[in-house]
Amino acid sequence: MPGRLISRDFFEDSPENVAPRLLGKLLVTRGANGQPLAGRIVEVEAYLGPHHDQPDPAAHTHRGPTPRNLVLFGPAGHAYLYFIYGKYFCANISCEREGLGGGILLRALEPVIGIAEMAKNRGLDKDAPARLISSGPSRLCLALGLTRPLHNGLDVTSSTSPLQVRDDGFAESQCIITPRIGIRHAVDLPLRFALRGHACVSGPRKLAG
């Protein structure tokens, strides 16, 4: 696996603090042949727990713990996968102290290792533009083969986990902050974080914020 494993205390903070620090880190799993697949995190969104002073009705934890969202109320640094539109998955990572329900949605990756396999998982040619491979929450899950049955609840801070967050020493460039996109509630909260000017950021090509 590339780089060094991120420790749990990295995630034991509020989502709006963890989210920008997550930019530039690697999300790593293993492909069908057992070799690493890795993407650099270039865009995330923070979702606040129900204890937060600022209500966040867009968060899955807004109404408290349920069988579906229980991972987010557990220890920090665990993967929370959910199903959308009847066919796609989205990946999140729990943060905050246990019981508080904060999380971060992974919105876009830059393919780094195992690019040909990631493209194949997306049904694309191996030379497809990086933006088409893993730009967007559901695209990145398809590229890495992430699903709720296989990956929900995994500890991304464990050296034995099939899904990890790692640091390869990448120096973060400037971060831009905007309102979150693709939601209907709390649309004005400035909780979307992205690497400025990065080609793999999802949504509008020209970010302002």
Report pLDDT digits (tens) over 128-138.
999 999 999 99
pTM for this one?
Answer: 0.94
Q: What is the pLDDT of residue 171?
A: 83
Residue-wise pLDDT for 27-67, tens only, equals 999 998 889 999 999 999 999 999 998 889 999 999 999 99
Model confidence at 90, pLDDT cuts 50, 70, 90, reads very high
**With 80 as the cut, is the pLDDT of residue 207 above it?**
no
Summary mean pLDDT of the chain: 93
* β-pair type (164-167, 26-30): antiparallel
CB 129 within 8 A of CB 152: no
CATH class for domain 4-195?
alpha beta
The per-residue pLDDT for 57 is 93
pLDDT, one tens digit per residue, over 184-201 is: 888 889 999 999 989 999
- What SS3 string covers 135-204? ECHHHHHHHHCCCHHHHCCCECCCCCCCCEEEECCCCCCCEEEECCCCCCCCCCCCCEEEECCCCCCCCC
Domain ranges of the chain: 4-195
How much is the pLDDT for 55?
Answer: 87
Provide mean pLDDT across the span 4-13: 97
